Amino acid sequence: MNIVKPQTIAGVMELLPDDQLVFDHIKQIIEETFLSYQFLPIDTPAIEKNDILFAKGGGETEKQIFGIDSSKKDMSLRFDLTVPLARYVSEHFSDLNFPFKRYQIGKVYRGERNQKGRYKEFYQCDIDIIGNDSLSIHNDALLPKVIYDIFQKLDFKGIKFHINNRKLLNGFFESIEISDKEEVLRTIDKKAKIGDEKTKELLTELCGEDKALKLMGLINNKRDNKELLKYLESLDLNDNYKLGLRELKEVYDYMIKFGIDDESIMIDLSITRGLDYYTSTVYETFLDGYESIGSVCSGGRYENLAGNFSKQNLPGVGLSIGLTRLFYQLQELGLLEKYREDFTDCLIIPMDEKLNFYAIDIKNDLKNKGYKVDIYLEDGKFKKKINYADKIGVKKVIIIGQEEYENKMVSVKNMEDGNQVSVKIEDIGDYL
């Protein structure tokens, strides 16, 4: 038979089972936490119509899309979970209750060039809250609390939310008469990558040295949160600025009230989020000591989720964890070991096929008692059987031979130190 080389397409993450267990464990913590805050699950198809996906216009997205080769070529694989959310909320508008809090954990697809840590297929874990016509600002504080809980459970205590407000930034830009706001935002957004000097240089080119200095003064203002808020209040600029500042302060106060540690919040006026999608609150999230991996969770407030699909005004706020990329980065840093749990408490090995039924009785009994117990019933020599136990990394093996069977005993072998003891079947639990 002609042998085809077994390989995945380039640029996808596929894990071996031991790693998959860790991945699933993290995914489960994320999902449980979403549910614990009453976010409802939705599961949209991975394939959407092209007129849905490109409703905003193609642009950069169109280059990255995976098209579906149907005769009509009118559908494609989703590239994020936000467009499907917009379509979902518009399509099912009358069946949903607002504010609509939903989460979705699912795969998205992008035709990225092959590079390390960039994936063509990856999981996103999104939470969004969508209002019908209006949505209170406290929602912008609830989302980080959900993410905060997730990282606490994952034992990353040093999570830090960098928060900002785009209205405040816009107001400030207006106050110093900056004409090309978008380009200034884009430049500030690059600061973490290109450094202070280069940022100042680019801003000077854009709007002159005087304004560049003022901008750098604002975005580099790294005081204690409360002091910074006080300072910003003292500036007393235009209405846009004041509204943004009030929102920023409320989000900060609610974040504290919801139970986020002050240490885990940093009002950071250099956070802009590249997209022109966000209109008010914006967030990036970093892990203390691992700032090099970049933001592990980003998002913000948007004015209208679904203007392309509906005449309803649907303001919303969302945060998203790029799980596949995060997993890759934690793995590279060797930080995943702590999530590994024993998959199997013990493996039962009957020495001979005649003892299989007796071994199954013991397995059923231990399983009923709550043990994670596996049984090896394949034919073969003892060496092959104990090798299997060794390879799967199980710590205790229960060996059943003819003599043990006759005496209602088993041998419990400790795979770590090699010790073996004879135990009455009713006492096995004490030795696991």
How many other CB atoms are found less than 10 A from the CB of residue 318? 25
Task: Report the residue count for the chain.
Answer: 432
Residue of the chain from 21, 237, 336, 415 that contacts its own copies (CB under 8 A):
21
Query: Binding residue for its own copies (CB under 8 A) from 26, 30, 34, 87?
Result: 87
250-269 binders of its own copies (CB under 8 A): 257-259
Binding mask 345-384 for its own copies (x = CB under 8 A): -----------xx--x---x--x----x-x--xxx-----
d(CA 280, CA 265): 17
C-beta of residue 420 within 8 angstroms of C-beta of residue 431? no
Q: Is 324 within 8 Å of 123 (Cβ atoms)? A: yes
Tokens of 343: 């998959």
Residue type for 148, please?
Y
- d(C-alpha 353, C-alpha 426), whole Å: 23
Only segment of 89-97, 217-225, 240-248, 277-285 that touches its own copies (CB under 8 A): 89-97
**Cα gap 284→300, rounded to integer Å:** 9
Q: Is 183 in the site for its own copies (CB under 8 A)?
A: no
Q: Name the residue nearer to its own copies (CB basis): 16 or 418.
A: 16
CB atoms within 10 A of CB 403: 11
Closer residue to its own copies (CB): 22 or 188:
22
Q: How far, in Å, CA of 297 to CA of 285, rounded?
A: 5
DSSP single-letter state for residue 214? H
Tell me which of 156, 277, 290, 388 binds its own copies, using CB under 8 A: 388
Q: What three-state secondary structure class fits 121? A: strand
State the burial class of residue 410 (Cβ atoms within 10 Å of its Cβ: 0-12, 13-18, 19+).
buried
Residue 96 makes contact with its own copies by CB under 8 A: yes
Nearer to its own copies, 23 or 278 (CB): 23
Instruction: Specify the residue, 179 or 368, whose C-beta has the smaller distance to its own copies.
Output: 368
Residue whose CB is less far from its own copies, 60 or 379: 379
Q: Please, which residues have CB within 8 angstroms of residue 289's CB and are 6 or more apart in sequence?
A: 158
CA 110 – CA 92 distance, rounded (Å):
27
| H helices present in 220-341, as ranges | 225-235, 239-258, 323-332
Check: CB of residue 240 under 8 Å from CB of residue 170: yes
* R_g (Cα) of the chain, nearest Å: 28
* Shorter beta-carbon distance to its own copies: residue 107 or 211: 107
Does the protein bind its own copies through residue 301 (CB under 8 A)? no
Contact status: 45 vs its own copies (CB under 8 A)? yes
HSE-CB for 12 with a 13 A CA cutoff: 12
For its own copies, the binding residue among 175, 277, 307, 335 (CB under 8 A) is 307
In the shown chain, the binding pattern of residues 142 to 171 toward its own copies, with x for contact by CB under 8 A and - for none, equals ------------------------------
Tell me if 277 is assigned to a ligand binding site: yes
Assess 306 for contact with its own copies (CB under 8 A). Answer: yes
Tokens 């013991």: give the residue: 362
Least Å distance, CB 237 to its own copies, is: 26
128 labeled part of a ligand binding site: yes
Q: Does 138 bind its own copies (CB under 8 A)?
A: yes
Nearer Cβ to its own copies, position 24 or 236?
A: 24
Binding test (CB under 8 A) with its own copies, winner from 29, 107, 181, 246: 107
- Please say which residue, 14 or 261, places its beta carbon nearer to its own copies: 14
**Residue numbering of the annotated binding site:** 80-82, 110, 124, 128, 273, 277-278
**Residue numbering of the annotated binding site for L-histidine:** 80-82, 110, 124, 128, 273, 277-278
